[in-house]
Structure 1
Amino acid sequence: MNEGEVPQYYVENNHEAIISPQVFDWVQEEIKRRCEGRGRYSGVSIFSSKIKCGQCGGWYGAKVWHSTDKVQQLIAENARVAQNQDDYDRNYNELVSRYEAVKTQYDKTCEAIQYRKARSRQMDNFIQEVREQELIKEFDARLWGSRVDFITVYSKDDIRVTFKDGTEIRA
């Protein structure tokens, strides 16, 4: 092993890659996505971490406990109870924290714009591949897992599928 005893050189494009740069980039994006802290990655089934509530933003699982009773109680209490200055200050500070979090998200969005530009090139390749394929006649688990990011259920009549490229369609 060379630990600085002799000069080292970095050579680009000297030999064919083991995996394509496109596959490498996709894997890096997937690793980053799973570590972003959305707290929703699960590999239990092909439907895991794919279906989201349109009301609260929570992820559906094997058991779904969804109720707005607590929210309604808090709204009613807030309407009839006067706030004191300490509560106001605490709420104000919370809003400032939320603002800072949104600003951080804005900065991430700016980064995402750059990501989307790169992703656009990948999607052009995907579209070309889809055009060359035969019509899908039955459910394909591999295709589902590789293309669908999640499904949002707003109501029984309003279900939307969001693909990994950010495209959303109403089912």
Structure 2
Amino acid sequence: MLSILAGYAEEESRSISENAKWAIQKKFERGEQWHVVAYGYKWDGKTFVINEDEAVAIRKIYDDFLNDIPMRQTSKWLKAHGHSCSMYFIRYVLNNPVYTGQVILQRYITENHRTHKPILNTGQLPRYIIDDNHAAIIDKETFDKVQEKIKANYDFNPAAHRMVKPSCFSAKIICGNCGANYVKGMTRTNRHDGLVEHWYCYGKIRRRNCKAKNIRGDRLRRACCEVLGLEEFDEEIFGKTIDKILVTDKLEIHFYDGTVKSVQIQFFKVGQGKYTDPHKKPFGYQWSNEKGYVIVPKEAEAVQLIFQYYMEGKQITDISKELESKGYGSIRGKVSRKLVAYVLDSDFYLGTRRIKAQFSESGKEKVIENDHEPLVSREMFEAVQKRRDSECRRWKGRERNAKCDGNTRQPE
């Protein structure tokens, strides 16, 4: 008896659902729009009217997307100004033609009378399009540019499948240990190079179930250039040629045509530069494997001003403040008293390089003259050392070092 009653109830539910669908479809056929108001509009009883307080957010989303401003930055702006700010909302706005004045009726349909789940209408039922139905917030030309850009971003790396243009490596680097994808991150590997691109196994940094090694972005690009026979890395060629990269103790690069090539790569290890790299990275220079020590113009200016100010009689603290007021800085921020003292004492700025005993073949410290382009003359350097010696002797028994110079009270 219960089964019979349940059958009658389900059939009645289906009948009511079919009648409701029929009524809605007839309404759409007459061109009568469904008045579910999109964000940015309000319903006046007949049609959509622009809500200027909310329309500002819609225009902001479109402008930021076309100007390549990250979605998260747009989301923060929306949140700060009291608008809806989720990633889902931003994607919904960028894909919705209602903001051009167009209405697509029966764009979504109900899956069935049991679940009542809305699904995208991909041809199951007819759709009805009404152009110039209401005032537009976004012009048609801007909307079309956004759609073209979204399509191009999807086509650039189909594996990543992102609305915003992904990296050419996204979803293509696979860990040979746990099978997870590698994800991009920016890490400060040392105090000289600043933030450097790295790729990490997702299973290592999130699930904590993998011990895969990290890969520096510049080394990954050089390895790809070696396999592709390129002098300079090209994202477009890589995206159209390479299907995936399997990471083991080397890189196995799989091409779309079925070819597989292997290439050795030096993985990044924490502390690697500190213990195995004999090349210092002093303030004013940066190291290049091809050109050696290369002058960093802005930092080099600061070095020369440090020597100049010191020769004019200024104290360490005053020099630090003067450089900070002029906008000079180091990798850690401002030009500190400790850094000023280091610059004044280092003969590296004469073009001399000292290799520590641990890196020298002879087991003793090695001095190389004229190793790189100097920033100060020898006469100025020697004059600075005389003043440094005379000042630091006044600190009774204390060595001449940065701790002495870091004190804000300098001897009279």
More helix by share: 1
Choose 1 or 2 for highest CA Rg. 2
Asked if these proteins are the same fold (TM beyond 0.5), I'd say no
TM range (shorter): 0.3 to 0.5
TM-score, L = length of structure 1: 0.34
TM-score, L = length of structure 2: 0.15
More strand by share: 2
